[in-house]
Chain A
Amino acid sequence: MGLEQKPLSTLHDKASYEVADFDVPTGREEEWRFTPLRRLRGLHNGTAEEGGKVLVEAEAAPEVTVETVGRDDARLGKAYVPVDRVSAQAWNSFTEAVVVTVPKETVASAPTVLRLHGEDASAAAYRHTTVIVEPFAEATVVLAHRGVATYADNVEFVVGDGARLSVISLQDWADGSVHVSHQHARLGRDARFVSHNVSLGGDVVRISPSVSYDGPGGDAELYGVYFVDGGQHLEHRLLVDHAVPNCRSRVDYRGALQDQDAHAVWIGDVIIRAEAEGTDTYELNRNLVLTDGTRVDSVPNLEILTGEVAGAGHASASGRLDDEHLFYLQARGITFDDARRMVVRGFLGQLVERIEVPDVREKVREAIEAELDQGASR
């Protein structure tokens, strides 16, 4: 089959650096239909006033370089072209960017942490971050989002041939924050990428992690944990685009929801293009609904354009705490509240324990306990 006849995917077919190339979303579009546009404070339609601040503080591993650069830096925007209007707005509006570089064949001896602190939500802030892991290098990068902000950004992960990158992005915003983000990973031949998104705080958080492969042997594991409280909208939209042969992807996102108008959205798109023979992919989303009044939208989409796949599957399940689990634990003397905590902790903990940085793992555990305390205090 020649390139000309290549069947085109119906998913995510448009990319541009220009804001004007994207219509202002109305909420009827497939990619926007779950997002409360009115709560985006104009990030999506050009009415957001600029001047907000998200400050970055870096703690780099000794082998890793962290630079603050201007818009004209040639390394920016090479791996990712914006795919929606907010992303294009962020690309055109940021004034400074952070470039993290892990030199060729270097194994970073410690995690590199970027602390992104929102100072003010009354005006919009935009940023761009590019992480470059050169061939055969290995590193762990933590993006810790805190404070209060109205924030749109793009993050690029360029993982070179044979390189390995592990990323933990923590969305621990204070109440009243809005964060719309694209995180794109572009993997070289035999590159390995592991991503954890942990979304806990903020009024509206919409994170779109995506992966593309430049060569065979790429391996991406995308994990996510979220805990949605009353009134919060936490949305994760994943896209894995298999366009070369013999790559692997795994997606596992799990969330818990409690209280009135807690809204979780999970979209899991996987494309296996005609050329991507030998692809091995599986994506999973599970939601645990702890109280009445919550809402979950979970939509897995798998588009397969070749018959030669090694494995392709998806699953999505949302439900209440299992009465039989609670009965079993209670029948051993454990109180209802403790049993409930154990089940939720176990459900999310299976992903939390995969987080490789002990400090971060512990912080996430504590944050989940705090959420459970909040649920128990009523």
Chain B
Amino acid sequence: MATLEIRDLHVSVGDGSDGSKEILRGVDLTVQAGETHAIMGPNGSGKSTLAYAVAGHPKYEVTSGTVTLDGEDVLAMSVDERARAGLFLAMQYPVEVPGVSVSNFLRSAVTAVRGEAPKLREFSKEMKQAMDDLSIDPAFAQRSLNEGFSGGEKKRHEILQLEMLKPKVAVLDETDSGLDVDALKVVSEGVNRFASGDTGVLLITHYTRILRYVKPDFVHVFAGGRVVAEGGPELADELEEEGYEKYLKAGASL
């Protein structure tokens, strides 16, 4: 049973000159296998910072608190060690890497995460099936990673990686943003396939739209760099009706 535990996490972003700015101000969150958590909040509330800090992006500095995965200290791990330990971050803006083909990249990643190179034939079959499930044109396998992909194509490729790498806990950073309804359905189906396993999902979103397709067990409202409200799926319905207004004030007063 995988458990991601975040305790009193404080994170700052250095601006390069006069000190740094604190973005996360004491986040507590536990994601267990089999659970889907939605983190919702207005722009600038620190949702993405949480995602990147957990993944280990060098721009974000953890000033205090702990993050553990099955009791292992995630913060002591390098970025690649975190991924090999079973964490996955689906990025909001996946970067383009010229000259690195999707298939080469996927094979390298799968090899790294599984600890051994998959047999070429089996890997090709697996990749083809996973691409098919997400309605990705097989020709994309030979294209440079994310290069010239539309926003929707990039997001589908993030979910493709999620399904192939099979992490213990996945953090999805605004995977729904910029998707049309058809793409949103395809992506949501992929997330649901993944979430049906013995895995944890932390779904970060600004909108409630994706929650019609991916049902969260828990909803956390983020404001001012911390969780200001928690509840079940009904909390998402309330946000749909009322928006973030009252939480914005709550965040500011903290």
Counting chain A CB atoms within 10 Å of each CB, the highest count among B56, B58, B79 belongs to B79
Asked whether any CB of chain B lies closer than 8 Å to the CB of A94, the reply is: no
Asked whether any CB of chain A lies closer than 8 Å to the CB of B84, the reply is: yes
Asked whether any CB of chain A lies closer than 8 Å to the CB of B75, the reply is: no
Asked if A333 meets B94 with Cβ closer than 8 Å, knowing A346-B144, A349-B99, the reply is: no
Q: Decide if A332 touches B99 in the complex (CB within 8 Å).
A: no
Q: Mark A301-338, 1 if CB is under 8 A from B, else 0.
A: 00000000000000000000011110111111111101
Q: Decide if B105 touches A325 in the complex (CB within 8 Å).
A: no
Residues of B within 8 A of A327 (CB): 57-58, 79
Task: For the complex formed, measure the closest distance between the CB of B112 and the CB atoms of chain A, giving whole angstroms.
Answer: 4
Q: Mark B87-119, 1 if CB is under 8 A from A, else 0.
A: 011010011011110001100110011000000
Asked whether any CB of chain B lies closer than 8 Å to the CB of A343, the reply is: yes
| Bound CA span A348–B95, Å | 18
Asked whether any CB of chain A lies closer than 8 Å to the CB of B55, the reply is: yes
Q: Decide if A332 touches B97 in the complex (CB within 8 Å).
A: no
Q: Decide if B97 touches A346 in the complex (CB within 8 Å).
A: yes
Tell me the number of A-to-B contacts counted with CB atoms below 8 Å: 78
Asked whether any CB of chain A lies closer than 8 Å to the CB of B83, the reply is: yes
Residues of A within 8 A of B83 (CB): 330-334
Asked whether any CB of chain A lies closer than 8 Å to the CB of B80, the reply is: yes
Residues of A within 8 A of B89 (CB): 331
| Bound CA span A201–B105, Å | 30
| Bound CA span A24–B161, Å | 60
| Bound CA span A113–B187, Å | 52
Q: Decide if B100 touches A332 in the complex (CB within 8 Å).
A: no
Chain A residue at smallest Cβ distance from B114: A333
Asked whether any CB of chain A lies closer than 8 Å to the CB of B63, the reply is: no
Residues of B within 8 A of A348 (CB): 99
| Bound CA span A324–B99, Å | 15
Asked whether any CB of chain B lies closer than 8 Å to the CB of A350, the reply is: yes
Asked if A335 meets B99 with Cβ closer than 8 Å, knowing A328-B91, A346-B144, the reply is: no
Please count how many residues in chain A sit with their CB below 8 Å of the partner chain's CB atoms.
24
Interface residues of A in 330-378 (CB under 8 A from B): 330-336, 338-339, 342-343, 345-350
Q: Decide if B99 touches A345 in the complex (CB within 8 Å).
A: yes
| Bound CA span A336–B80, Å | 7
Chain B residue at smallest Cβ distance from A353: B99
Q: Decide if A330 touches B95 in the complex (CB within 8 Å).
A: no
| Bound CA span A324–B52, Å | 12
Q: Decide if A331 touches B105 in the complex (CB within 8 Å).
A: no
Residues of A within 8 A of B196 (CB): none
Which listed residue, A332, A346, A350, touches B161 by the CB 8 Å rule? A332
Q: Decide if B95 touches A328 in the complex (CB within 8 Å).
A: yes
Asked whether any CB of chain A lies closer than 8 Å to the CB of B210, the reply is: no
Which listed residue, A323, A334, A345, A346, touches B112 by the CB 8 Å rule? A334
Residues of A within 8 A of B82 (CB): 331
Q: Decide if A322 touches B95 in the complex (CB within 8 Å).
A: yes
Which listed residue, A324, A331, A339, A346, touches B98 by the CB 8 Å rule? A346
Q: Decide if B97 touches A328 in the complex (CB within 8 Å).
A: yes
Q: Decide if B144 touches A342 in the complex (CB within 8 Å).
A: no
Asked whether any CB of chain A lies closer than 8 Å to the CB of B78, the reply is: yes
Q: Decide if B97 touches A330 in the complex (CB within 8 Å).
A: no
Asked if A325 meets B97 with Cβ closer than 8 Å, knowing A330-B78, A332-B83, the reply is: yes
Asked whether any CB of chain A lies closer than 8 Å to the CB of B165, the reply is: yes
Asked if A332 meets B105 with Cβ closer than 8 Å, knowing A323-B58, A327-B57, A343-B100, the reply is: yes
Asked if A325 meets B84 with Cβ closer than 8 Å, knowing A335-B112, A342-B100, the reply is: no
Given A327-B79, A342-B104, A342-B105, 5 more A-B residue pairs with CB atoms under 8 Å apart are A329-B97, A334-B108, A346-B98, A346-B144, A347-B98
Contact residues of A with B, CB < 8 Å? 322-325, 327-336, 338-339, 342-343, 345-350
Between-chain CB contacts (< 8 Å), 5 pairs: A328-B91, A329-B108, A332-B161, A333-B83, A338-B108
